[in-house]
Amino acid sequence: MLKLSRIIVPAFFLMSCTKMIEVPQPINSITTVEMFKTNNQANTAMAGVYTQLVNGALSFSNGYTTILGGMSADEISYYGTGDAHMLSFTPNQLLFNNSYTSQVWTSAYNVIYDANAVLEGIAGSDSPEFSDSLRTKLTGEAKFVRAFCFFYLTNLFGDVPLVLTIDFNKTRYMTKTPATEVYRQIIQDLKDAYDMVGVNYPSPGAEPERIVPNKAVVAAMLARTYLYTKDYTNAAAQATAIIDNVSRYKLETDPNKVFAPASKEAIWQLKQNTTAVNFLNATGEGHTMIPSPLATGIANYSLTASLLSAFEPGDIRKTAWTGVTNYNGTPLTYAYKYKLGKHNAVSGAASSEYYMVFRLAEMYLIRAEAAVNGAPGGLSAAITDLNAIRLRAKLQPLSASLNEEQVKAAIAQERRTELFVEWGHRWLDLKRTGQANAVLSAVLAKQPWAGDYQLLYPVPPLEIDVNPRIKQNDGY
């Protein structure tokens, strides 16, 4: 399905070459309304949104949130040389014009533009060849994707412009929207999406690919969002709805199967175009972080000693999900959750792994954290959920006698070792729990700690040049 996206309306891709809020109205192109005359055209338009998320160069949704967030936290050290902009993430000393944070911002708003174009195209079409059921479904998917993008924008940059239209006249001079309002919109979009998308994954086969959002995908995003906004009761409820669906979702006993297309643990994956020249049939993260040759190549993004020491003895996640290369006599440990990289990627071949976005283990961890913070079940329920994760890791169960502070520490520990080098979880966890200053300011590589302003990335200067109403984040 995603391969069809290259014929999408050119207006949807104007943002690839220009910045947010400097996009003129499209000229001499098919209008968005005309693109939504038939079901096939509408599906093609939405396919273009998904391909923006996973194909092409590294972007906010195709590796950079993981890589940059891992360095901003204490997971990854950049072992490369000559790239001052990348090197600046390890000590958290970014310049205001950092090219990578600019790419994160721009790529997220590119997808938001596409999602808004789909929403406006659907709303403006009265074609009888475009079915009501598909209108509803695609509207829900577009709202979900928009919420997904804004979640990362506000967590990485703080207050951001809340762009809900492609109308240039309305977006050109927008100011930043407070993060609390952005979260309200995220939650509203997700609630709308939940009512609109289907229960099943909309792809053929007895075991359909989990690459198009259904109700469980939206629930997973809601669970995460409620956790971040400290609505613990709703966070637990959404996570429970997925955990209880045991016929569809279960923890894989073998960690090496977690990221496979047929993974029972997968809630939402992004399926890459295997013929693209950037990464072939590998994921962007695997292609970028796995050394080539595997045993002796450079691991530009090596795992920190702090992360490696966090694993308990006997934790099979460390064995399954990390690898070691001996580069010019220097052993470097790298993230090996994905197994396809430059060393073995093949153009056009079926991929043995898709890019994981949401998986069941996170839902257990969300419910555990919610329970210890007042959601139903309390400490005992939190410990039970943590032990489900530890059982898969071949670790001893936690004692039922742990107190509240011990359980909270155990949750942070399990999130660190289960979700390491995935979607910036560690970076966002440290910030949302108020632990970033205490943890990161003590990291040797981050000395001297310049200030907590480093916990937000800088707004790209071009955005401010184009629209002075957008103010730079403090400290930059």
For residue 413, give both structure tokens.
């520990």
Q: Are strands 322-327 and 266-270 parallel, antiparallel or unpaired?
A: unpaired
Q: Is the pLDDT of residue 409 over 60?
A: yes
pLDDT-derived band at 204 (thresholds 50, 70, 90) equals low
Instruction: Say what the pLDDT of residue 202 is.
Output: 85
Rounded to whole angstroms, the Cα distance separating 179 from 279 reads 34
Across the range 411-426, mean pLDDT stands at: 98
Question: Which long-range contacts (C-beta less than 8 Å, at least 24 apart) are formed by 303-309?
Answer: 303/75, 303/76, 303/77, 303/333, 303/334, 303/335, 303/420, 303/421, 304/74, 304/75, 304/76, 304/77, 306/74, 306/443, 307/74, 307/75, 307/416, 307/420, 308/333
pLDDT-derived band at 203 (thresholds 50, 70, 90) equals confident
Q: Which residues pair with 160 in a beta bridge?
A: 177
Across the range 442-451, mean pLDDT stands at: 91
**Mean pLDDT, the chain, integer:** 92
Vertex 371: Cα angle to 368 and 376 (nearest 5): 135
Tell me 471's DSSP state: P
Rounded to whole angstroms, the Cα distance separating 336 from 93 reads 27
pTM of the model: 0.93
Which one of 3.40.1350.10, 3.30.360.10, 2.60.130.10, 1.25.40.390 gives the CATH number of domain 2-197+434-466?
1.25.40.390
Q: How many CB atoms lie within 10 A of CB 99?
A: 12
Across the range 415-431, mean pLDDT stands at: 98
Torsion from C-alpha of 84, 89, 95, 100, nearest 10 degrees: 80
SS3 315: coil
Higher pLDDT among residues 25 and 299, named by residue = 299
Instruction: Say what the pLDDT of residue 208 is.
Output: 86
Taking the alpha carbons at both ends of the chain, their separation in whole angstroms is: 42
Burial class (CB within 10 angstroms; exposed 0-12, middle 13-18, buried 19+) of 13: middle
Residue pair 44/134 in contact by the 8 Å Cβ criterion: no
Residue pair 52/111 in contact by the 8 Å Cβ criterion: yes
Could you read off the pLDDT of 123-138 as tens digits, one per residue? 999 999 999 999 999 9
Rounded to whole angstroms, the Cα distance separating 156 from 86 reads 16
For residue 219, give both structure tokens.
């629930």
Please state the domain extents for the chain. Answer: 2-197+434-466, 272-346
| Half-sphere exposure (Cβ direction) of 459: Cα atoms closer than 13 Å | 24
Across the range 342-355, mean pLDDT stands at: 95
Could you read off the pLDDT of 314-338 as tens digits, one per residue? 999 999 999 999 999 999 999 999 9
Q: Is the pLDDT of residue 50 over 90?
A: yes
